[in-house]
């Protein structure tokens, strides 16, 4: 059996901090021109991106892929909307979950799998300020426990 080839390109730094992610789905991206070369060069920003149901599919907004230097004047716009490639059943399930109050679709990771650009899309609910503080407290206490165990050895 062949090992899965996954090359992580970018993570969304605010996804885990600002959202409770309930489910994740892998989706393909519809790209134009030299966008794949820009992604391979890691010239991608996921921070403010989000996905929304449009007509019969799901579209990703605000994913910034910087233009490839050698593409010349024909490079596509860096923040253009990009279609996601999903099965019809996945689209229906994600649309139903995202239509609930307070739920949204955000990308968590961008990676290459078997040579194809893939994005991990999460169904998320925004955290309140006190939830964020609680997450930080838990993370810091876990670090302190690790340090204490490390010094004890």
64-102: per-residue pLDDT in tens?
A: 999 988 888 878 889 999 999 999 999 999 999 999 988
CA distance 37 to 55: 29
Domain ranges of the chain: 6-127
- How many other C-beta atoms are found inside a 10 Å radius of the C-beta of residue 54? 12
What local confidence, expressed as pLDDT, does residue 24 receive? 94
Distance of CA 106 to the CA centre of its chain: 6
Polymer length of the chain: 153
Please tell me the pTM assigned to this model.
0.80
- Residue 101, helix vs strand vs coil: coil
Architecture of domain 6-127: Beta Barrel (2.40)
């Amino acid at each position: 059996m062949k090992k899965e080839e996954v090359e992580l390109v970018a993570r969304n730094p605010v996804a885990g901090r600002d959202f409770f992610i309930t489910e994740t789905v892998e989706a393909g991206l519809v790209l134009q021109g030299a966008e794949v070369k820009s992604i391979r060069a890691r010239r991608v920003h996921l921070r403010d991106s989000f996905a929304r149901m449009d007509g019969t599919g799901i579209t990703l907004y605000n994913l910034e892929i910087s233009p490839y230097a050698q593409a010349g004047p024909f490079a596509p716009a860096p923040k253009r909307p990009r279609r996601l490639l999903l099965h019809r059943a996945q689209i229906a399930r994600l649309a139903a979950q995202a239509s609930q109050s307070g739920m949204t679709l955000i990308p968590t990771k961008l990676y290459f799998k078997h040579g194809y650009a893939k994005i991990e899309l999460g169904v998320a609910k925004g955290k309140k300020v006190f939830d964020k503080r609680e997450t930080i407290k838990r993370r810091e206490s876990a670090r302190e426990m690790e340090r204490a165990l490390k010094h004890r050895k």
